């Protein structure tokens, strides 16, 4: 603000406040806000404008935003403007070709057209300069450092030592629920499970979220909720840091972040002491410490010149993103299977045939659980996580179809719309795992030409996609082998928008142990290599 006044720009402070909070990269010294005025109110646009009505407000304010976006796609077309203020808007994209154009040009050194924009703004308080939200050269350096930690041997070790045992821990909890005859919120269970998994996998830290409610666990959930709320705040008080001590929600969130960062820094310091005490490790491609195969141990053993603060921010990015995504994937996959008995029976038959007497799948079993994988893929098509991707144009651009994108325009790629568009998919609202043939590669943005983008695409594609898929398949296999699940009747599950798609009221189910489900064996040692089609994305 002061810099703009120094430039002798005379402007009403009220208008400047609107511009500053527009979220479209506008400023008095750029023509962005004038362009927005012309596009939104002057009829000077080659992009249609969504007709938002009062009934849509509840979906825009913390509800199921993607449902309103879908309605406007049906009314307006695959690319449209969504006004969010007098001088701000989102350019909503529901077309695979346009989405591919934007995603491939995000943080692309050869075509640096788009950046993360609003995503970085709402989550910087938690992630700092973590690779999940930073951009440019810093992101490229951090991505090259973190990506190699998710190598084949690491994924195999996680399947054998973390994914399987953690899922069996949940199964033990469900045994008690089955014996009592009571119902349980499986969405909460999966959130706890995936927090336990990501804690061990990234930090070698046991949250024990399935059994306890420690202050650290509550802090993680508080920080996640704040991130979600900031994305849809009509009055973004978080943009005024000096108010934080006086706003209860912000004060609580900042206290939570302080606790998370302090514990993360303690774990980093402890790991550094252990590595320094060892003889020089033979670090190289595929390095993994047998006693501690975590990402934290890998990054410290690499002896890269990086600050503890940067390391902390990178690891927090993985912790939050990894926990949130897979928990939602498991929630909606189990829901869809329960609603589709034939698919459930087919998935369970595959689990029984592949796993035999083993309590948890080995790596070889994981590779053979192709139908279970397609159930997860189809679930992520119907309930993508996240349902929208946000980008911001840092230079003017034109999308396929001739849609103009001015400098500073926020772009919202509706993954939900693309995944459910009748112009893209046959019977788009049906749960049909068979639409992804078992004898073809696991579907991705590449194999579907960006019709299927649950992990985004382009340079900023999710670095942990293979981790998430393996974790979800292993957990489902363990549970389907042991239990029958049935939705509690007459519950209003609903959907709401967050970083991922959540239920409104939980996913309450009754659980019964299968007569043939209890295994006499144990998980075999998952030491084999992964087939290229699955493992290749681990270091993307």
Length reported for the chain: 540
Query: Is there a binding annotation on residue 271?
Result: no
Residue 137: count of CB within 10 angstroms of its CB: 10
Q: Which residues pair with 88 in a beta bridge?
A: 85
Q: For residues 458 and 540, is the Cβ–Cβ distance under 8 A?
A: no
- Closest to 39 in 3D by CA, of 78, 90, 97: 90
Q: Is residue 449 within 8 Å of residue 100, measured between CB atoms?
A: yes
Residue 400 burial (C-beta neighbours within 10 Å; 0-12, 13-18, 19+): middle
Contact 20, 405 (CB under 8 A): no
The torsion defined by the Cα of 284, 290, 293 and 296, in degrees rounded to 10, comes to -70
Q: Which residue has tokens 């899922």?
A: 167
What token pair was written down for 134? 């930073």
Supply the DSSP symbol for 203: I
Query: What is the C-alpha separation between 246 and 239, in angstroms, rounded?
Result: 14
Cβ atoms of 350 and 371 within 8 Å: the answer is: yes
Structure tokens at 249: 């929600």
Phi, psi torsion values for 38, nearest 5 degrees? -65, -40
Which residues make up each annotated binding site? 462
Binding residues for heme, by number, are 462
């Amino acid at each position: 603000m002061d810099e703009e006044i120094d430039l002798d720009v005379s402007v009403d402070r009220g208008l400047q406040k609107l511009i500053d909070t527009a979220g479209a990269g506008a400023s008095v010294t750029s023509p962005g806000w004038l362009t927005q005025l012309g596009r939104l109110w002057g009829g000077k646009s080659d992009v249609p404008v969504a007709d938002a009505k009062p009934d849509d407000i509840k979906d825009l304010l913390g509800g199921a935003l993607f449902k309103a976006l879908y309605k406007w796609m049906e009314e307006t077309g695959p690319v449209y403007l969504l006004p969010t203020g007098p001088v701000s808007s989102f350019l909503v994209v529901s077309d695979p070709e346009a989405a591919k154009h934007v995603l491939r040009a995000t943080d692309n050194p050869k075509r640096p057209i788009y950046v993360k924009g609003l995503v970085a703004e709402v989550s910087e308080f938690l992630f700092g300069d973590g690779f999940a939200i930073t951009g440019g050269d810093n992101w490229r350096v951090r991505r090259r450092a973190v990506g190699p930690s998710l190598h084949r041997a690491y994924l195999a070790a996680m399947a054998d030592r973390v994914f399987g045992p953690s899922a069996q821990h949940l199964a033990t909890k469900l045994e008690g629920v089955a014996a009592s005859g009571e119902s349980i919120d499986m969405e909460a269970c999966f959130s706890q499970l995936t927090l336990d998994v990501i804690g061990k996998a990234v930090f070698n830290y046991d949250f024990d979220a399935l059994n306890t409610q420690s202050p650290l666990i509550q802090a993680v959930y508080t920080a996640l909720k704040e991130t979600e709320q900031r994305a849809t705040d009509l009055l973004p008080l978080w943009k005024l840091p000096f108010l934080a001590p006086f706003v209860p929600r912000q004060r609580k969130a900042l206290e939570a972040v302080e606790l998370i960062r302090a514990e993360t820094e303690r774990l980093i310091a402890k790991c550094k002491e252990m590595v320094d005490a060892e003889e020089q490790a033979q670090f190289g491609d595929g390095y993994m410490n047998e006693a501690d195969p975590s990402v934290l141990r890998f990054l410290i053993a690499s002896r890269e010149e990086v600050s503890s603060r940067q390391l902390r921010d990178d690891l927090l990015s993985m912790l939050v993103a990894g926990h949130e995504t897979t928990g939602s994937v498991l929630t909606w996959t189990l829901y869809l299977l329960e609603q589709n008995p034939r698919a459930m029976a087919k998935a369970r038959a595959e689990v029984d045939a592949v796993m035999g007497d083993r309590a948890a799948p080995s790596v070889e079993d994981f590779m053979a659980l192709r139908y279970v994988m397609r159930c997860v893929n189809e679930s992520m098509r119907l309930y993508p996580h996240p349902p929208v991707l946000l980008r911001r144009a840092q230079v003017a651009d034109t999308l396929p179809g001739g849609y103009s994108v001015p400098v500073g325009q926020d772009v919202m790629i509706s993954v939900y719309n693309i995944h459910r568009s009748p112009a893209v998919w046959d019977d788009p609202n049906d749960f049909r795992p068979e639409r992804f043939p078992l004898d073809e590669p696991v579907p991705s943005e590449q194999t579907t030409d960006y019709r299927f983008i649950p992990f985004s695409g382009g340079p900023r594609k999710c670095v942990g996609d293979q981790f998430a898929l393996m974790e979800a398949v292993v957990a489902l296999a363990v549970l389907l082998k042991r239990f029958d699940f049935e939705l509690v009747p007459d519950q209003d599950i609903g959907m709401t928008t967050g970083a991922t798609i959540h239920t409104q009221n939980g996913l309450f189910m009754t659980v019964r142990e299968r007569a043939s489900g209890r295994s006499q064996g144990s998980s075999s040692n998952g030491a084999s290599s992964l087939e290229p089609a699955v493992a290749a994305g681990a270091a993307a």
